[in-house]
Amino acid sequence: MNQSHEEKIGIIYTAFSYLLWGILPLYWKLLETRPALEILAHRITWSFLFMIGLLSATRQLKTWRHQLFAICRQPKLMGGIGAAAILISANWFIYIWAVNHGHIVETSLGYYINPLVSVVLGMIVLKERLNVWQWISFALACLGVCIMTFQYGTFPWIALSLAFSFGFYGLVKKLASFDSAIGLTLETMAVTPFSFIYLLVLYSHVPSLLSSMTVWQGLLLLGAGPATAVPLLYFAKGAKLISMTMLGFLQYIAPTISLLLGVFLFHEAFTKTHMYAFSCIWGALILFSFAKTKRMQWLRDKWMKRNSLEV
């Protein structure tokens, strides 16, 4: 298989994963009458069981067990898995709650900001260096957040909570460097006992929640496992076959779809303030993406070489 064909397949896999993530609000909206914590507990539990079944079907269960035993012998790895599990659970809860309480537009803002948050975390924790365009991108993103804060008088906590929880999750994953399927299985395993206990306590104290659950809702809660795992697996396949630059462009598919759903399907407010704030974020992302291209790097090297010659 030649490189261009591999790249096309990678683009299809990755774009499809972001498409699925983009339309995920439609799935959670079908469960909006259920409490967000209940949905989260089901999502974690069924994701773990689905991943165990998948690893068994793909003959990776032995590898997963080896990783599990290795973690038990290394407290730092155990702490990393625990931290990743808490961060992704918090991210899922905030997202589900926000979607089912009419904040889809703000969730899209959070995932637009997320790549820039990841860059800043990389700079602080991994000592990565930013070029001037990336600094400008970050400043523009901050301006967008400030516009939202001062115009509305409320801090965009949903957007920033999603951006930072997923940003820190990505950082922990990078430091731990587990395979995506095995990593998700380990992370959901870490919090599945708590989710299961929570569901037992919830249904014993509020039996009406269980008795009022329709067959359709039960199937949707059960399907939260595959709905969580399938996009991640497609993403993992696609990300291996394409460049980081292409990956950077494709990652904006999901928040764009969510934004369009929030505005045009669920009729959430999109005012001039939103437009100004989002324009700053979009401008920041364009600069950020362009700064990573070979053309921009060539121009920067040429400018630096010219300046050194003049000196």
Transcribe 223-235 into DSSP letters.
THHHHHHHHHHHH
Tens of pLDDT, residue by residue over 166-211, are 889 888 877 776 677 888 899 999 999 999 999 999 999 999 999 9
What are all long-range contacts of 67-75, with beta carbons under 8 Å and residues at least 24 apart? 67/178, 67/182, 67/186, 68/186, 68/189, 71/186
Does residue 297 have a pLDDT over 80? no
8-52 per-position pLDDT tens digit:
888 899 899 999 999 999 999 999 999 999 999 999 999 999 999
**CA 291 – CA 124 distance, rounded (Å):** 19
Q: How high is the pLDDT of residue 67?
A: 84
Predicted confidence (pLDDT) per residue in 206-265, tens digit: 999 999 999 999 999 999 999 998 998 888 788 778 776 677 678 888 999 999 999 999
Query: Predicted confidence band at 309 (pLDDT cuts at 50, 70, 90)?
Result: very low
**Residue 303: how many CA atoms within 13 Å on its side-chain side?**
7
What size, in residues, is the chain? 311
234, 13 contact by CB (below 8 A): yes
The whole-model pTM stands at 0.86
Model confidence at 300: pLDDT above 60: no
Q: What is the pLDDT of residue 149?
A: 75
Sign of CA dihedral 149, 153, 157, 158: negative
Q: Give the residue among 21, 24, 18 at the shortest CA–CA distance from 250.
A: 18
Distance CA 184, CA 189 (A): 8
Average pLDDT, the chain: 85
Taking CB atoms within 8 Å and a gap of at least 24, the contacts of 34-39 are 34/209, 34/213, 34/217, 34/221, 35/209, 36/93, 36/96, 36/97, 36/100, 37/93, 37/198, 37/202, 38/199, 38/202, 38/209, 39/96, 39/221, 39/224
Whole-number percent of the chain with pLDDT over 70? 89
Q: Is the CB of residue 27 less than 8 Å from the CB of residue 222? A: no
Predicted pLDDT at 301: 56
Residue type, 269: A
Helix (H, G, I), strand (E, B) or coil at 179: coil
Q: Which two tokens stand for residue 55?
A: 């690893």
Q: What is the DSSP letter of 263?
A: I
pLDDT of 140 strictly over 70: yes
Q: Is the pLDDT of residue 81 over 80?
A: yes
Q: Tell me: the pLDDT tens digits for 92-121?
A: 999 999 999 999 999 998 898 888 788 788
Radius of gyration, CA atoms only, the chain: 21
